[in-house]
Amino acid sequence: MIRFTEHGLYCEAGDFHIDPWRPVRSAVITHAHSDHARTGHSGYLCAASGLSVLRSRLGVQSYETADWGEPVFRNGVRISFHPSGHIIGSAQVRIEYRGEVWVISGDYKTENDGISGCFEPVKCHTFVTESTFGLPVYRWRPQSVVYDEIRTWVAAQLDQGRSAVLQAYSLGKSQRLIDALRPFAGRIFAHGAILQIQEALKADGHDFPEVMRLSEDIPAERRKACIFITPAPIETLRASRLIGPWRSARCSGWMHVRGNRRREGGDKGFVLSDHADWEGLCAAVKATKAQRVFVTHGFQSIFSRYLNETGIEAHEVQTSFGGEEETDITPDNPSNQI
């Protein structure tokens, strides 16, 4: 029912693509990260709660939306969106045609982060899953524990008169951090890329503490010992000269492994991910009751081999997804200034 083509995942019966990476007529989008949502398609279909962020990233396009679970039909193919818990408005896509059901997970995490919606297991015959952290060494501790650690670290920096810089992906992790840092409202600054997303979310009615833009116009004493959230390494930004002495910490699932933490060279790493860990991936696959699984971006070969050994038919698929846990902004891009 779905084919893996050079444009991306394609449903022939309904003549639409899911998260295509080359321009197509009709694109169904799971979420707004740049490896899944690209410009150049004639039409976009997405979950209603994902629209504001998608529009802030892709600009004016021809959008159509559907509420959670609400069916949309294309040539008799039934499409519906279900929360994937990855970022605000992120969805799994359920596709049904002549009694056969596929679910394309996009990216997902199984722990409810309180802002992105709760991952909903959807029964299907064929499940297309990501595998970003598809190795058993990746096992997350509860979000509340990590948040406590982050808040403790931030408070310690502020107490010592230093700014606390948190480096995190602009769409997804940054919103979680802003949410977690509510007790510090009034001292939170962010990179422009994050502010743009905050504006879109605010306009859409989301409740977040105030996040400010950093500039020379703000009195120096307010800029010192502040919190600064940025997707790019602070060392590469002009902001590093505005916030007084600082310490930085990277927030990413990759920080779970010491070698990655040390390679990044930041002062500290917090293990915070918007993807499912190993147990999460295994549980999600099981909950779909799927007889066949296609494993995409991440540890495809390992996770599919494991599934095959546990009696679930699995295949690995090469896609152009993945990589968004890396910094999405390169230091030499001039638009990064602050």
Q: Which stretches of the chain bind another protein, using CB under 8 A?
A: 135-139, 141, 256-260, 262-263, 265, 267-268, 302, 305-306, 309
**Cβ nearer to another protein, comparing 69 with 331:** 331
Backbone angles phi, psi at 211, to 5 degrees: -125, 130
Q: d(Cα 305, Cα 309) in Å, to the nearest integer?
A: 6
**Cβ nearer to another protein, comparing 94 with 297:** 297
**Cβ nearer to another protein, comparing 264 with 324:** 264
What SS3 class is residue 147? helix
Residue indicated by tokens 């039909």: 73
Tokens of 73: 């039909």
Shortest approach of another protein to residue 151 CB, angstroms?
17
Q: d(Cα 272, Cα 260) in Å, to the nearest integer?
A: 14
Which H or E element spans position 231?
none
Shortest approach of another protein to residue 272 CB, angstroms?
15
Shortest approach of another protein to residue 127 CB, angstroms?
21
**Eight-class DSSP state of 48:** G
**Cβ nearer to another protein, comparing 99 with 259:** 259
**Cβ nearer to another protein, comparing 145 with 220:** 145
Which H or E element spans position 221?
helix 220-223
Shortest approach of another protein to residue 261 CB, angstroms?
8
What SS3 class is residue 165? strand
Shortest approach of another protein to residue 20 CB, angstroms?
24
Distances (CA, A) of 189 to 194, 228, 246, 291: 10, 5, 13, 48
**Cβ nearer to another protein, comparing 117 with 322:** 322
Chain mean position to CA 72 = 25
Shortest approach of another protein to residue 75 CB, angstroms?
40
